[in-house]
Structures are given as C-alpha cells and as structure tokens.
A = this chain, B = another copy of it.
Amino acid sequence: MAVTFSLDNEVFRVYLAYAGLVAFKMLILSPLISTTRVSKRIYENPEDSELNSPEPNKYVRKDPWIERMRRCHLNDLENIVPFLIVGLLYVLTGPSVDAATWHFRIFVVSRCIHTIAYLLPLPQPTRFLMMYVGWFTTASMAVQCLKIGQF
C-alpha cells in the first residue's frame, strides 16, 4: 500500500513536529520586529506614528537593527517556506524514518543557529555555513521528489 499523509505514518508525525517548530521560529520574528518598531518609534508608514501626531512623517525612518531583523525574516521566508513545502512532499517519496528525521533535524537546528548568528551577530562564516547546511538539506529532498515524480 502506498505511503500517504496521516498520523499513522511515522515519517509524517516526525515532519509535523519539526515543521511546527521551525514555522513557530519564523513566526516569532513578526512580533519581535513590530514591538521593536513601537519601542524605538521607527515606522514604515505615516499612520503608524504617534496617534494624532501633528508631524505624521516624523518617525518614518530606517534603523540598522530593524533592517537586520527584516533581512533575517526575509531569509527565513526564502529558506524555511521551501523547506516546509518540499519536506512535506518528501514524506510521500517513502524515505526511511532515520533518513527523514535527520533531514528535518539538521535543517531546523541550522536555521535556529542561523537566526542567532544573524541577530547577535556572531562572526562569519557561522551564518554563511548555516544557510548552506539548510539549503543542501532542502535541495536533497527536492531531488528525491524530482527522481520519483513523473514528467
């Protein structure tokens, strides 16, 4: 019987755990950025400024720390979103539980270190290496989909 998505499929249960974890890690950057904007009074839109401010554009400005958090968030979108989709498809290519668990585990750990390295920041090449570790994990799963798919 062919592999399918359900809680009876152990590989899917493992995917569910790591996907939920790394999605949560990505989601956390949104409130982090927006609360920092409010506390530092650095906004992108005139209407975000102080309520009834006589100078609505006064606090529309850029800040190196906020721009850094935004680059970190965009890098997550570019890497974590493809992982979530490709990883889900990879579950159905029928990998062993071990192979799948290590793919998911390495990806999630590399992205957590990537975020820490971006935000502290840690000296390079930490962030650079972590980006590539995650990249090769997703690429390896995409190749499995390509090999089993039907053109």
Q: In the complex the two chains form, what is the Cα distance from A149 to B7 in whole Å?
A: 8
B81 & A7 in contact (Cβ 8 Å cutoff):
no
Candidates B4, B81, B127, B150; contact of A17 at CB < 8 Å = B150
A85 & B85 in contact (Cβ 8 Å cutoff):
yes
Q: In the complex the two chains form, what is the Cα distance from A122 to B46 in whole Å?
A: 11
A85 & B92 in contact (Cβ 8 Å cutoff):
no
Contact (A68, B45) CB under 8 Å given A3-B7, A20-B146, A82-B23: yes
Interface hits, A75-116 → B, CB 8 Å: 77-79, 81-82, 84-86, 88-89, 92-94
Q: In the complex the two chains form, what is the Cα distance from A92 to B10 in whole Å?
A: 13
B6 & A2 in contact (Cβ 8 Å cutoff):
yes
